[in-house]
Structure 1
Amino acid sequence: MRVIDSHLHLWDPAVLEYEWLEGPLDWRFAAEEILEEQLAGVDEEAAIFVQADPVEGRSLDEVRWVDSIALETGVVAIVAGARLDRGAETDAQLAALAEHERVIGVRHLLQSERDGLARTEAFRRGARMLARRGWTFDACVRAQQIPDVTALAASVPDLPIVLDHLGKPSVGTASAPSAPDAGWVDDLRELAAQPQVHCKLSGLPAESGGVWTDAQLTPFLDVALDAFGAERLMWGSDWPVSSIDFGRLEDGAYVIGARQRWFRTVADWAASRGVDADALFWSNALAFYGIR
């Protein structure tokens, strides 16, 4: 079985500053750490690095650092950080990122922005610049922002967009699970009506606080499958963010093997639904990101 992790993070606070890191996440997660979390029962494994939101102005340095450890970590492509709403400054940032061959897309982290930013002309201009370069856009939003992504996709139809973490729906907890919210379901279906939009099966463990049951999360995978079809889904670990159990200790604890467990959860679900595992875990992500 071949697996490409479509959503892997790496960072080292000794190399770059990350204002959002705290508790068990405020540690190094780099080459040595990911090598200890390689997936069992996999013949070939690779990864797409997704920007980890260092302090502003250091996105290019982040790309340089990831490039320097790419061979050790199995990273074959980079989704770099960039602000898309700053006109000429955006153009210059994209030009600098283009000097690095592994960069194939951008993520402007929308989950921490005001609702509606992706609908502004400034943001759409930046999105069109991505499309002209043949790059992709990772949309990391909270559930109420999914319609903003739908509007962006409609206004820039030649930009390939992938929704990170299924739009971060409310999944409840292992002991008190939540059923898929009807509003989220409707919004996901409307987004999926835009043919260039894909969806990552990632991040749900983090939304559950790092502890989950398969029965709790598979209904959300079913909604994504119904909306996007198997050909527009890809698996991502969201490592190490989704490997933190926030029920342990005061600030949470890193759980060895959580990445493997999420892989197994999605693999078992895919087998039970007749989803082509090679497409879900390999070829869909390669095709979306244009990796050859």
Structure 2
Amino acid sequence: MRVLDSHLHLWDPSRLDYAWLRGPLATRFGAAELAAAHARTDGDITAGDSGHAAAVFVQADCAEEQFLDEVRWVAENAEQTGVIGIVAGARLDRGAETADYLASLAELPLVVGVRHLLQGEPDGTATSETFLTGAETLAARGWTFDACIREQQLPDVDVLATSVPTLRIVLDHLGKPAVGTAAAPLAPSADWIRGIRAVAAHGQVSIKLSGLPGEAGGSWTAAQLIPFLDVAAEAVGPYHLLWGSDWPVSAIGADGYRPADRDRWLQTVADWAVARGHDVDAILWGNAARIYRVG
């Protein structure tokens, strides 16, 4: 079974600055650490086979002035990490500065999209005039936009998709719904379901099956998270779903870094897709390859 991880993070605090890193995440997660995580794979998932595994790197929120340096560093390590596409950090609300930055980004290898991290921005950021202008400039380049938001910001993504219909949007982490924990699971909320359905109604929107283990603080069960996968599949259809590991963020639990959790999440999504009769190869490889235009 081939696997294209649509949401891989890599970082090295000795090379770049990451103000948000804390606890077990505040160390290097690079080629060697990723190889060790892959080596744990067993069962039906052959993620350790370089001929059947690849990844799209998603910006890891380094200091803004280092966004281009992050792309260069990841590209330098692409062969060792299996990265075949890069979603770079960007600010889309800087007017002419945004256009100049995207032009500079276009000169670097492997870039397929950008992410302006919205989860920490005020609600309405993605619907501002300056942001929409930047989104139009991004769409003109044919790149994707990864929307990493909180659940209450789903209406902003709806407006963004309406305002810039040529922009291909990938919703990270299913919009970060509240999922609870294994001991105290939460069902999908009515507001989240409504928001997902509204966003999914736009043909250019896809949903990344990623991040839910992280939203559960590393304490999760398949039974707890599968209802969220079902809602996403019903809303957008199986050919706009992408599996992503959110490694290493979603491999952190109360007891620290747990490398096996990457493939536990992979197996959970694969088993769910088989049980529901979905196209497993599309969800684990083909959709991401098509949407990010990486082969």
TM-score by length of 1: 0.97
* Residue 234 of structure 1: how far off its partner (Å): 0.6
- Matched with 1:75 is 83
Matches within 5 A, 1:22-41: 22-38=22-38, 39-40=41-42, 41=45
Q: d(CA) in 1 for partners of 2:12 and 2:71? A: 13
- Partner residue of 2:215 out of 180, 204, 207: 207
Structure 1 residue 92: deviation in Å?
A: 1.2
* Equivalent pair of 2:127/2:160 in contact (CA under 8 Å): yes
Matched position secondary structure for 1:174: coil
1:165 corresponds to which of 165, 170, 173: 173
Give 1:135-214 correspondences, 5 Å limit.
135-214=143-222
Question: What is the CA distance between 1:101 and its match in structure 2?
Answer: 2.7
Deviations 1:116-168 (A, max 9, x none): 00001100000000111011100000000011001000000001001000000
Secondary structure of 1:172's counterpart equals coil
* 8 Å CA contact 2:75, 2:109 repeated in 1: no
- Alpha-carbon RMSD across the aligned residues, in angstroms, is 0.7
State the match for 1:107 in structure 2: 115
1:288 matched to 2:291: yes
Kindly indicate whether residue 74 of structure 2 is the aligned counterpart of residue 66 of structure 1: yes
Amino acid at match of 2:291: F
Instruction: Return the alpha-carbon distance in structure 2 between the equivalents of residues 231 and 197 of structure 1.
Output: 11
Give secondary structure in 1 for the equivalent of 2:64.
coil
Deviation at 1:291, TM superposition (A): 1.4
* Residue in structure 2 matched with residue 125 of structure 1 by the alignment: 133
Find out whether 1:12 has 2:20 as its counterpart: no
Q: Which runs of 4+ in 1 moved over 6 A?
A: none
Q: Structure 1: how far apart are the matches of 2:207 and 2:290?
A: 13
What is the alpha-carbon distance in structure 2 between the residues aligned to residue 112 and residue 49 of structure 1? 20
What is the CA–CA distance in structure 2 between the aligned matches of 1:109 and 1:284, rounded to whole Å?
A: 23
| Count, aligned residues | 287
Which of 269, 272, 275 is the equivalent residue of 2:272?
A: 269
2:272 partner letter: W
Q: Which amino acid aligns with 2:116?
A: H
Q: Percent identity?
A: 61
CA distance in 2, matches of 1:189, 1:238: 23
Are residue 91 (structure 1) and residue 94 (structure 2) matched?
no
Cα deviations across residues 10-35 of structure 1 (Å, max 9, x unaligned)? 00000001000000000000000001
CA shift for structure 1 position 225: 0.5
- TM-score, L = length of structure 2: 0.96
Gaps of 5+ in 2: none
- Secondary structure of the structure 2 residue equivalent to 1:36: helix
State the AA in 2 paired with 1:138: D
* Structure 1 residue 55, shift from structure 2 partner: 1.1
**Aligned-pair distance for 1:256?**
2.1
State the Cα deviation string for residues 232-260 of structure 1 (Å, max 9, x = none).
Answer: 00100000000000x23xxxx10121101
Cα distance between partner residues in 2 of 1:30 and 1:101: 19
**Using the alignment, how far apart are the partners of 2:287 and 2:2 within structure 1?**
12
Return the alpha-carbon distance in structure 1 between the equivalents of residues 277 and 14 of structure 2.
Answer: 45
Deviations 1:163-186 (A, max 9, x none): 000000000010000000001000
Q: Distance in 2 between matches of 1:76 and 1:240?
A: 18
